[in-house]
Structure formats: C-alpha cells, structure tokens
Structure 1
Amino acid sequence: MAATLGLLVRDPNSPQPAAGQPVPLQDLAATIESSIIPRLLVSHGVFRAADVAVTGTPVAIDSEMIIAFAEELIALDSTRGLDFVQSLLSRGVAMERILLELMAPAARILGELWSADHCSFMDVTLGVSRIQQILRVIQGKAEGQAGDDVKGRVLLVPSPGEQHTFGLRVVEEFFLRDGWEVRSHLTARHEDVIAFVSEEDFDIVGFSLSAERLMEPLVSVISEIRRKSVNRQIRVMVGGVLFVGRPDLVKQSGTDVYVLDAREAVLQANEWCRSAKVN
C-alpha cells in the first residue's frame, strides 16, 4: 500500500478553503448519494450493462474493503482505484452496489480524515476526481467505446530521480476536472515511463522537475519516448520552478513546451487537442 490512511497528515502547501468560506467537502458523501449517484443510475446504461450474474458466494463490501479502496484512491499510482473496481466487477459485484456501498462511503471517509487533519485537502479532491474517472472508464467499456466526453489520455510522471511530486497531484486534479483521462505514477522510473508509452496510447506526457542535476535523465527519457511511443505524434510538456526564466533548459530538455502551472498545462493540452482535430 503506497500510503496508509492512518499515517497521512495534511500537507501545509496544499490548497485550503478560504477563511470564512464553507468547506465544500464536508457534505461530499451526501452530495454523491443524493445527487450524483441517482443521476448516473438514471442517465447511464453502464450500471445495467456492467452487472453480471453472481456465482458462488456473494462478495461482501465491508468497512475493511471501503478503507482499502479509499487508500487506493489516493495512491501514487492512479490506476489502483480502477483496478480495485474492475476486480469487484469481475467477481460479480453489480456497479450499483459499488457506487452505493463502496464509493460513497469511501468519499465520506476521505472527508472525515481531512476534517481530522489526517489527510490533505488535495487528497480528498483528487480521490473524488478519480472516482469520476473510474465511472467514465467503466461506462466507456460497457458501451464499447472510450467515451465521447474524454478529451484524450495524459501520463503524468516525475522526471527520473525527482522526489517532489505534490505539484503533479495538483496537475492531475486539473486534468481530471477538465475531462481528460489521466494516468499518474509518482514513483515511475525511466524504464516504467518507456513501458507505459510503448504499450498504451497516450496523447501527452507531463514531467515535473525541480533540480538541474536531473536534467540529463529527463533529456534521456524524453528522447526515448520519441523513439518508442506507440503514438508517433505524442506531445511532451514539463513543469517546475527550475525552468522559470530558463529557455535554454527548456530547449535542452527536448520537450514540446514548458508550462508554468496546472491551469496552463490544461490550456496547452486543449490547444493541442483542437489542433489535432483540425489536422
């Protein structure tokens, strides 16, 4: 397990609600249960299509499983929550049960942990966005398509050797909210990144870098991405304070573009998306 919920502490650098403003996540689980879930149940055939006949002993969704799923939602590897849900589906658990008995309680647990200072505001918001991405992926598979609302696929990883990854979690949140399918792996090594892009079709790879001593590994991995990506038109972006006012480093890295923050990263990705559709 990448992180144990009982050991998480609030990150002082994570975004917090403004003083005097209502905390939007206090009623998060209630909102999911009273609004989001009923709308999805009514609007999407995914839940009916994803249901499979239960064979053998029915799977119990207990408190231990809910806590385990909540941990996966904020793991360093963003695919673990989806893997968790797909495992349940393969064992015959209906999607409606997963929504009502697993996802909503997991969201509530994250909200409660944030209120008790045991996890960060970003952990909670990212966990909820990952729930939304899981639903999009499951729906797309049930309908035999990727989903018309998904703009593209983004891989977010630190530059090889980079230890500072909080910024990537913020970038992931922005991309998820904007309708992109995101895979983030905050402990990925050079060979992991190459395996990802050579086996899966990503539109964009985003790197973060904070130290100039890691420039050589970054240059190396970007060069290999260009050679081995299954998407020959893959785009690469980098971010990090190291590149501020250093166009020489941006050029040296071999990236397509440097982005200042998460908002600029999404804007640039959308521009690439529009250009690809025109061409």
Structure 2
Amino acid sequence: MLQHSGSTQGQDGWIACLTYKSKAAFTPSHSDLEELVHHARIRNRSVGVTGMLLYENGKFLQTLEGPPEGLKLIWSAIREDKRHSHIEILSEHVVSSRLFSDWDLLLYSRAEDRPTPRQDARSEGRDLSDYVPRMTRLALEGDDTRLASQLAALSEEGWSGEALLARLIEPTARAMGDAWLADECGEIDLTIGLSMLQLAAHAVRSSSHAGMLRTSRFSILLATAPGEAHMLGTAILADQLTDAGWRVEMAFPRSDTELINQLRAQAPDAVDLTLSDALPRHHALARLRETIAQSRKAAPENLAVISVGGRLFSEAAATAASVGADYARPSVIGATVRLAQLVQQRRETG
C-alpha cells in the first residue's frame, strides 16, 4: 500500500508538519479505507504532501508534511470531511526535512487481518528476545505488514507496550546494525529496515503516563544528532512524550548551526539528541560533544536539560558525562519521567 512520491519543499527548504487525531463517523470497511487512501494519495501528490494514516477501533491518527501552502489546502479538505469528527491537533510545527519523504500516504490499519490470539507466550517460557531474529528478517525485507501483525499478536498475548519497545524493537534495531557490520545486508537494506521498524513502532504505545507530565506541559525538541541519518529512537520517543503530555517539536539538522537556530526559535525546556539505534557511532562522540557545548553556549537562558540516546548509550559504551549531556537514555522507556524530573529540578534550582 506504499507508493513513492517526490520530496517537494518550500523555496526556503522548510516544510510544515501536522499531526491530528479524530473519530470515525462510521466503521470503515477494508474497501472504504482503500478508497480513502487512493483519493488522498492523488490529492497529496498534487501538492507535494507526504504522510502516514493509522486507523484502529474507530479512531484515526494522521501525520501530514509538505509545503505550507500545500498542507493548508489538504488540511482544509480534511476538516470538511464528514467521515470523521472530534478532530484534535496534536502537533503543528515547521521542520527542515521529512519523516515520510518516500510515501504519498502510508496506511496502517490494525483492524485488518488481526491474528488469532494464541496462548500467552510468557506462560510457555518464551522471551521477546526469541522474536528478534524474525523481526530483523522482516524489517530487512521491508515487510511492514508482517512486522505489524507480529507486534499485534504479541500485544494480544499480553506483552505490554513498554516490553515490546525495550525488549524487542530496540534490540531488533541493534541486530540489524550487526547484520550490516557483518556485511549480511547493504546500507539501503538497513535504511529500509529501520524505516519499517519505525512505522511498526508507531502502533506500540506505553501504557503508563505520569499525571504530573500532563499538567506541567514541558516542552522538548527531539533531534537527530547533526548529520545522523537514522531516526528510529527520535520517532519512538516522540510518541512516548506526546502521549505523556509534552509539547514536542522534531528536527533533523544537518549542522550545529541549524540545530542552534531551532533551539533559539523554540526555546524548549529540553533537547534530546539521538545517534543511531542500529550502529555504534563511536566516531560521532567527539562531534556530539562539540554540538552539546555549542548548544549550551548559544542558548543558556532557556535550555534546561540536554539528553542523548542511541546504541552507544543503551549499551553503556558511552555516558552522558562523556559528551557533556545531563542524561543518557538506556531506552525510550522511562525517559519521559526522568526528563520531567530533571527539568523540574532545573526549574526549582534555576
């Protein structure tokens, strides 16, 4: 259900990004969803808009990105569409690069082809690590349908979102990195595999949200480290923080200057910089340390907390102190609470 699209941007190179949720006016059939997406792809392609649409249990979640004027036209049509109601904007911002640059519109519906529930895997003595080889193979093959089905089946068996993210999705990313390092797959395979894993992870959400986060409304800029091409951890963390009530902005800067300009424009409470979750970027540590130093120097009045993530930090091969950060995420799980604690502490002492 994927089709390639061009990556048209505004004249200044920046694009608008909008994420919203809504309720379906009626339960769409498989053919209804197919027709909806078919027409949306034609419309999106005509104005250079890309994105993703999720449907589950009567609810839609959609992310759209593209030239501001093109996105404005699409958004006007969406608001008038009688097939859904209770439309709520979750995020609206401007970024320098796309998250879904290759797709006119990707559709994932968990209502389709739902696997038959099986006996609880935990009662059979199995662990999520047993599924890492299969997930790795499916991701490298670009089989998003079976990836989604596997995650849905494990969820039905009783595995929590936290467990699936920390003990299956993140290890699968590292396993794909190992396959690349062993010359068992090419760079294109790895890039596609991480993209497929990222899309599948959107349907896996954490079940625990701290109440203090929903009332405090902390803000954060989630960015890949300048020059980093892999964005799996950034995308998953965006879901976690949004669910927990944070105001989330995303960036994929090509240089320290781009990152600093965005920090100054948005003045977030925190910034998270992510290296690859698949590959051990040892050579990137020196540059990341310089990026963090420049960020602190350029925006000391508003930047409270800097956190970092990626395979190097999840495997404890590097620490927050080694790059001058305040916090190094061993996983996306637990990061929302720890970041909130650090921001609150800085507010109280600053």
State yes or no: 1:71 paired with 2:62. no
- Percentage of pairs with the same residue: 16
- 1:191–1:237 Cα change, 3 Å: same
Q: Deviations over 1:97-140 (max 9, x none)?
A: 16857989xxx9612599784784742764999xxxxxxxxxxx
Change (3 A) 1:189 1:275: same
Name the residue aligned to 1:227.
297
Kindly provide the amino acid, as one letter, of the partner of residue 72 in structure 2: S
What is the rounded CA distance, in whole Å, between the counterparts of 1:83 and 1:245 in structure 2? 41
SS at match of 2:50: helix
Structure-2 residue corresponding to 1:33? 24
In structure 2, runs of 5+ residues without a counterpart are 6-20, 27-38, 54-62, 89-104, 114-142, 146-194, 206-213
If each structure's helix is expressed as a fraction of its own residues, which one has the higher value? Answer: 1
Q: Which of the numbers 233, 239, 245 marks the counterpart of 2:316?
A: 245
Query: What aligned pairs does 1:93-242 form with structure 2 within 5 A after superposition?
Result: 93=76, 96-97=79-80, 100=83, 110-111=107-108, 117=144, 120=196, 122-123=198-199, 126=202, 151-186=217-252, 188-209=254-275, 210-229=280-299, 231-242=301-312
Q: Please provide the CA RMSD for this pair.
A: 4.6
* CA–CA separation in structure 1 for the residues paired with 2:203 and 2:67: 12
Relative distance call for 1:160 and 1:31 in structure 2 (3 A) is: closer
Q: 1:6 corresponds to which residue?
A: 3
Change over 3 Å in CA distance of 1:79–1:264 after alignment to 2? farther
Q: Count how many residue pairs are aligned between Structure 1 and Structure 2.
A: 204
Equivalent residues of 1:5, 1:71 under 8 A apart: no
Matched, 1:271 2:341: yes
Q: Which amino acid aligns with 1:245?
A: A
Q: Give me the whole-angstrom Cα distance separating, in 1, the residues matched to 2:316 and 2:216.
A: 34
User: Structure 2 CA distance, aligned partners of 1:252 and 1:161?
Assistant: 19
For the 8 Å contact 1:70–1:109, the answer to whether it is kept is no
Normalised to the residue count of structure 1, the TM-score between the two structures is: 0.55
CA contact (8 A) 2:202 2:239 kept: yes
Structure 1, gaps ≥5 residues long: 9-29, 36-60, 130-147
Q: 1:64 to 1:171 in 2, by over 3 A?
A: same
Where 1:110 maps in the other structure, the secondary structure is strand
Higher relative contact order (CA 8 A, sep 6+): 1
State the AA in 1 paired with 2:3. G
Identify, as 1 or 2, the structure richer in strand: 2
